[in-house]
Structure formats: C-alpha cells, structure tokens
C-alpha cells in the first residue's frame, strides 16, 4: 500500500521480511491464541504422525498478518518434514508447478500463499496432484498428443488465502480441513509483543507493551512492527527506554489513533462519510477515489473496520455506521441514529 511506514504491507510469498522470520514462533506451543485452530491442528498432526502418513491438505484463511505463514512453518516443523514455499501468482505455468511437485519428498509440505490467485491451468493440474498424487503431462500436439502420468510422493498442500470466497469450489473441496484465523484480543497481542520484546532484547515497560497491543488492529504483524518503530522512537527521542510516554508519542507520530486505526483506515471512513453521505458506495468507486486497489481495500483495510462495527458491507455497497462518524469527530446523520426508546405509557410499567 501507499503507507510509507510499511506497517500495512500484506507481505506474502517467499520474500518475507526479516522481522517476520525472526519473530515467528517455531512450534504450536509457542503460537499464541487461535485456540480452536490449535486444538484441531494438534489432533490432526498427532493422528498423521501415529499413522505415519502425510497430513491432509490444509487451507488457512484470514486477513494478512494473523499467522497463516507461521502456521504452515509450524506444521512442517511439528511433522519433521521440509517446507517448500510458493504462491498463486508465482506459479506462472504448469511446468513451474511440475518442477516443484517432483522435488517434494514423502510427507513434505508445499505452502501455496495466495492460493486464490492460481492460474486456471495451474489450478487444474493441481487437482490430480492433490487427489491422486499424480501429475499429468500432455506431450505433443493435436491428434498425436499423449497424456503421461507422473507419480508423486504423498505430500501435503497448505494453502493460504485472504479471500476464501474467491477460491473455486473444486479447489476448496480438495482441502481436508479449513482453518479460519480471527483477529487477536489485546491480551493475546500483549503476550505476543512481550515475547517479541524479549527476543529483540528491547527493555519495555509492561504499560508500553499493553499500549502497543491495544493499538495493533488485532494483528500480530502490526504489533511487532509497532514495537520496532516505538523502540526506534524511544532511542532517538527518549533516551532509549520504551516507556508508555515514549509509546504514546511514537503512536501519535505514526498517526495510530485510540482504536489502532491508521491513516488509510480513516481515509476510507472519511471518504464514505463526507463524499458519499455515509454510503452505500461501491468498492470500485472507493478504490478509484483513494487511488487504491479495490482488492487491497477489501482484504487489508476493511476486515478490521467491519470487526469494529465502523463499516458495513451491504448488497448495494459499503456503508459507514454511526460509530464511524463519532470516531471521526462528526455527528452521525439522523437515519443512522436509532430513535430513543418510547417512554412508557404508564409510569412504572
């Protein structure tokens, strides 16, 4: 995104930033929160280990920064197998998929990030690979064309997507289990940034860490980035100590507000409230007005605003809620404000 501080960048694929790698939990026991996901995954992995089989194909869904790549790495570590990383857009043709698949050993994990963005032909050759552990080549052209079938090792696809709804039904059907990641609570984020502070050897007050946790849009990646930004700020402006005062000042400088919203969040809400009377307004219109890709708005910006109840998705477009107006310091229009309850007809009723 256009954000200069990079707090928002979705960060997908193999070129993950150093910070993410450094702070990534290695084991399921270190992975904070997402209890239902962890419980189910633990059983699934244990069962596969007991049967000495490959894990079923797994689909991980959720907004950026919630731990999809981390979980894929954890699955490989817990199973003691190799992980190969690719992404939907990186697999440009069937040949690229074939060479990856044939390089996999027994029970290895193939992590496909942004799996909703696979090319049609690549996706179709993934079906027999996932179902029958076979890759079908077509050699020659026209009447003389022949299909050759190549046997693959039994492997596991772990797919990740920010857009579950964009997955085709046949692809979705080939995953044995789907896990949906939710935004984290401030308590869980506090546990995550406390661990990160320890690993990065940042001396930070507990109140400062709690403040970072509360302003991180429910997202571990943002919490870790804010921690690093606050550490820099404290070093340059505050003598090095990460105190709650230094944190407040750094958050103000970064324009992170009391709800943890950033400039791009507020720009979207302000546009709907001021230029479109609160909506409904189509996503494409909003994208054009903000010079932002509609899918970035949908996958990166909107989910947290929906979660906070500041935004609504309706069949006719996006709508701001009364809470959005209030958060921006504006009076909500009358139609968004519920009328006060009728006084009782007979006092004492």
Ligand X SMILES: Nc1ncnc2c1ncn2[C@@H]1O[C@H](COP(=O)(O)OP(=O)(O)O)[C@@H](O)[C@H]1O
Catalytic positions are 68-69, 113, 162, 221
At 148, which helix (H) or strand (E)?
A: strand 146-151
Tell me how far apart the alpha carbons of residues 252 and 244 are, in angstroms, rounded to a whole number: 12
- Crossing angle of helices 68-79 and 35-51, rounded to 10°: 30
Q: Which does 124 bind (CB under 5 to 8 A by kind): ligand X, Mg ion, none?
A: none
Hey, is 315 helix, strand or coil? coil
Q: Which does 192 bind (CB under 5 to 8 A by kind): Mg ion, ligand X, none?
A: ligand X
Task: Pick the piece of the chain touching ligand X (CB under 6 A) from 32-40, 95-103, 289-297, 304-312.
Answer: 32-40
* Stretch 118-157 residues interacting with Mg ion (CB under 5 A): none
Query: If binding is defined by CB under 6 A, does position 33 make contact with ligand X?
Result: yes
Q: For the window 71-110, what string marks contact with ligand X as x by the rule CB under 6 A?
A: ----------------------------------------
CA 314 to chain centroid: 22
Hey, is 161 helix, strand or coil? strand
CA distances 234 to 7, 192, 207, 223, 257, Å, are 18, 20, 14, 16, 19
Task: Pick the piece of the chain touching ligand X (CB under 6 A) from 65-73, 121-129, 163-171, 201-209.
Answer: 65-73
Can you list the positions of beta strands (E) in 254-310?
A: none
Phi, psi for 248 (deg, rounded to 5): -55, -50
How many other CB atoms are found less than 10 A from the CB of residue 297?
20
Tokens of 291: 């010079």
Tell me how far apart the alpha carbons of residues 300 and 218 are, in angstroms, rounded to a whole number: 12
| Closer Cβ to ligand X, 231 or 318, answer by number | 231
Shortest distance in whole angstroms from residue 221 CB to Mg ion: 9
Shortest distance in whole angstroms from residue 264 CB to Mg ion: 19
Q: For the window 63-102, what string marks contact with Mg ion as x by the rule CB under 5 A?
A: -----xx---------------------------------
Q: Which does 279 bind (CB under 5 to 8 A by kind): Mg ion, ligand X, none?
A: none
| Half-sphere exposure at residue 174, Cβ-oriented, CA atoms within 13 angstroms | 20
From 221, 229, 266, 327, residue interacting with ligand X (rule: CB under 6 A): 221
State the residues that interact with Mg ion by CB under 5 A: 68-69
State the residues that interact with ligand X by CB under 6 A: 20, 23-25, 31-34, 64-70, 192, 220-221, 224
């Amino acid at each position: 995104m256009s954000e200069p501080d990079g707090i928002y960048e979705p960060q997908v694929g193999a070129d993950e930033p150093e910070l993410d790698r450094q702070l990534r939990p290695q084991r399921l026991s270190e992975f904070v929160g997402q209890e239902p996901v962890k419980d189910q995954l633990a059983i699934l992995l244990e069962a596969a280990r007991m049967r000495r089989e490959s894990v079923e194909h797994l689909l991980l869904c959720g907004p950026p920064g919630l731990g999809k790549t981390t979980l894929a790495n954890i699955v490989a570590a817990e199973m003691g197998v190799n992980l190969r990383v690719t992404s939907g857009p990186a697999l440009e043709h069937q040949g690229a998929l074939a060479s990856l698949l044939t390089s996999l050993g027994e029970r290895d994990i193939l992590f496909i990030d942004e799996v909703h963005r696979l090319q049609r032909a690549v996706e179709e050759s993934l079906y027999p690979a996932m179902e029958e552990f076979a890759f079908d080549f077509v050699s020659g052209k026209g009447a003389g064309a022949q299909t050759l079938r190549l046997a693959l090792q039994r492997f596991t696809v772990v797919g990740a997507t920010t857009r579950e709804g964009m997955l085709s039904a046949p692809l979705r059907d080939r995953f044995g289990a789907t896990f949906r990641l939710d935004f984290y609570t401030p308590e869980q984020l506090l546990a995550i940034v406390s661990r990160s502070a320890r690993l990065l050897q940042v001396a930070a007050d507990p109140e400062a860490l709690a403040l970072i946790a509360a302003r991180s849009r429910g997202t571990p990646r943002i919490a870790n980035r804010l921690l690093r930004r606050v550490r820099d700020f404290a070093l340059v402006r505050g003598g090095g100590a990460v105190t709650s005062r230094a944190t407040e000042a750094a958050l103000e400088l970064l324009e992170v507000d009391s709800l943890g919203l950033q400039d791009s969040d507020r720009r979207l809400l302000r546009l709907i409230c001021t230029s479109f009377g609160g909506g409904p307004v189509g996503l494409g219109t909003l994208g054009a007005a903000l010079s932002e890709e509609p899918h970035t708005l949908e996958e990166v910006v909107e989910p947290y605003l929906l979660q906070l109840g500041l935004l609504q998705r309706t069949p006719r477009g996006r709508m701001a809620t009364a809470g959005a107006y209030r958060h921006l310091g504006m009076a909500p229009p009358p139609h968004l404000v519920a009328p006060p309850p009728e006084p009782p007809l007979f006092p004492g009723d």
